Amino acid sequence: MKRLILMAVFGLVLGACEKAPVDTRTEVDTILHNGKLATIDASLSIASAVAVKDQIIVAVGGEELLDDFVADNTIDLGGKFVMPGFVDSHTHLRGQPQRYIDLTKTTSIEEIKGLVRQKVDELGTGEWISGYGWSEDFMAELRRPLRADLDEAAPENPVLLTRAGGHSAVANSAALRRAEVDENTLQPEGGVIEKGDDGLLNGVIRERQEIVGHLIPEATNEEVRESLIDTLKEQLSLGITSFTHATGSIEAYPEWEYIYSLHREALPRASIQVFWEGPEAMTAFGKKSGDGDEHLRVGPIKIFVDGGFTGPAAYTKAPYKGETDYRGKLSIDPGELTTIIRELNAAGWQTGIHAIGDAAIELAVDELAMALDETPRVDHRHYLNHFTIMPSAETMKKMAEYGIAITQQPNFTYTLEGRYVDYLDGDRLEHNNPLRTPMNHGVHVAMSSDILPIGPMVGIYAAVTRKGLSGRVFAGEEALSVMEALQAYTLYGAYLSFEEDIKGSIEPGKLADMIVLDQDILAIDPAHIMDTNVLQTWLGGKLVYERQDQGGA
């Protein structure tokens, strides 16, 4: 009897098992669905769902992905906008010592003086004070801070405060005395020590502020490491999942390796530019452009050909507005430029060249072309940083022919409008930071920030509207569509680091680096682009940032 009962029970269980549905869906780690995904693939397609496993995107499509995949971490986006993480292909990210003052958000000289006084109280009399980020365009006084202002705030502490962009700085009297700079000091090559109408130093030094800055005690890696890590993590809140640090060195690279060995999963992916130190030193370094992994790699060689526009010192073909002769300055001897470009090209390095003025751009392109004629390379990906004043059509055709690319900062059109209006005129003013024209010539154009400011939304806004701070439109024919701007700030940036096959778009087989925005940037009025916030940032399928005050997806 018992046996019959057991057999009956077993039959019921077996029958129930035979009827239980079997989940045949493929297991993944995470599924994001019910969103609007700008994939930035070759077709610029829009999807609604993405599946991720082991940091890699395995499928992109519609809601049918829920029928094919299953994940414990399944997130309903509620219609929110998703795109690849931004690739900032030219920026500067540093840690800061105790003596440093962040001036990026200051809006008056009085505020700057107050911050300097606070730092004097903190450090004590006689200690060096440094800072970065002021801009006369945002000062209530509508002028630059000058020596007299800093003397008032810190009569006994040497002070050097660098302008946003890094191409000029203001020093106080104590700093100038320590550097033995006075009215009789010869003008430095490639730079300017300014004097006021009274013939006395006003404290401003263009392009060669190191004649004072070299006296500031150098911070140790240990002193600035924590703040550098914080700065790197801040990029994730801006949606930046990859960047190229444009001021590195072979001596500093081991510190980057150390930081990324400890925090690699929590930091944006980095490419570190270095300076050329000659064939022997570079051979001893033992690495070249592209060496590393998807978290940290060696970037291009950095070369400064000219200065910037905050001085101004960019090297131009025609004199500056209102000048009869002054055309800016080269930052490097032409013969030295020839040597460095040919050496690095022959050695298999990539280069990212700082060239802002049209004369500097044409010189750099000619030198690159001659080096490539001498030592041809199939896929060198040399590029120019900035490209502010549009060169001749012949130069742009040569760039396309030789595969010389650009990383452009359209945000300069917005934040540096005042400098351009003061120093430029005619077409070179209207077509500042051109986008459409070089693209039409077949030149690869990526977008980046160069910290003026870092937030990509300013660059996208300026690329789409071509508006300056005042609302003035500069050469509207240079404008891009929003989708084109997103391409330039993602996939086209990844191309510059030879990584377009692994990131820069939301496609199967690529790293799951994605961001969720609080607005559909493709659909809103372009006037509101700068109001767009990043709600979430995903790095390799891991949520590494979530905006708290507005909720997540």
DSSP 349-413: --EEEEE-SHHHHHHHHHHHHHHHHHS--SS---EEEE--S---HHHHHHHHHHT-EEEE-THHH
CA 192 distance to own-chain centroid: 27
d(CA 463, CA 474): 10
d(CA 264, CA 542): 12
Report percent pLDDT > 70 for the chain: 95
**Which pLDDT score, from 0 to 100, does residue 111 have?**
97
User: Coil, helix or strand for 6?
Assistant: helix
Q: How confident is the model at residue 22 (pLDDT cuts 50, 70, 90)?
A: confident
For 98-128, the pLDDT digits (tens) are: 999 999 899 999 999 999 999 999 999 999 9
Q: What is the mean pLDDT of residues 357-364?
A: 98
Residue recorded with tokens 């692994």? 502
Residue recorded with tokens 């006395």? 200
Q: How confident is the model at residue 342 (pLDDT cuts 50, 70, 90)?
A: very high
Backbone angles phi, psi at 504, to 5 degrees: 100, -10
For 24-67, the pLDDT digits (tens) are: 899 999 999 999 999 999 999 999 999 999 999 999 999 999 99
User: Coil, helix or strand for 95?
Assistant: coil
Q: How confident is the model at residue 6 (pLDDT cuts 50, 70, 90)?
A: very low
Choose which CATH entry (3.90.1720.10, 3.10.310.70, 3.40.50.20, 3.30.420.10) describes domain 100-213: 3.10.310.70
* Of 178, 268, 255, nearest in space to 214 by CA: 178
Of 186 and 451, the structure prediction assigns the larger pLDDT to 186
**Which CATH fold would you assign to the domain 288-503?**
TIM Barrel (3.20.20)
* Of 143, 148, 147, nearest in space to 160 by CA: 147
Comparing 34-38, 63-67, 309-313, 547-551, which segment has the lowest mean pLDDT? 547-551
Tell how strand 192-195 and strand 201-206 pair up: antiparallel
Q: What is the mean pLDDT of residues 454-479?
A: 96
Of 394 and 94, the structure prediction assigns the larger pLDDT to 394
Q: What is the mean pLDDT of residues 66-85?
A: 97
Instruction: Examine the pLDDT at 527 and tell me if it is beyond 60.
Output: yes
Residue recorded with tokens 């000289």? 109
Instruction: Transcribe 179-218 into DSSP letters.
Output: TT--TTSPPPTT-EEEE-TTSSEEEEEES-THHHHTTSPP
Comparing 2-16, 367-381, 483-497, which segment has the lowest mean pLDDT? 2-16
Comparing 91-95, 434-438, 504-508, which segment has the lowest mean pLDDT? 91-95
User: Rounded mean pLDDT of the chain?
Assistant: 93
Backbone angles phi, psi at 420, to 5 degrees: -65, -45
For the chain, residues classed under CATH 2.30.40.10 are 29-85+507-553
The structure tokens listed for 148 are 């007299």
For the chain, residues classed under CATH 3.20.20.140 are 288-503
Q: What is the mean pLDDT of residues 228-252?
A: 96
**Angle at CA of residue 204, ends 198 and 208, nearest 5°:** 130
The structure tokens listed for 62 are 């519609």
35 beta partners: none
Choose which CATH entry (1.10.3720.10, 2.70.70.10, 3.30.497.10, 2.30.40.10) describes domain 29-85+507-553: 2.30.40.10
pTM (2 d.p.):
0.87
306 beta partners: 330
**Which pLDDT score, from 0 to 100, does residue 19 have?**
58
For the chain, residues classed under CATH 3.10.310.70 are 100-213
Q: What is the mean pLDDT of residues 236-240?
A: 98
**Which pLDDT score, from 0 to 100, does residue 23 have?**
82
**Which pLDDT score, from 0 to 100, does residue 5 have?**
45
The structure tokens listed for 71 are 């994940």
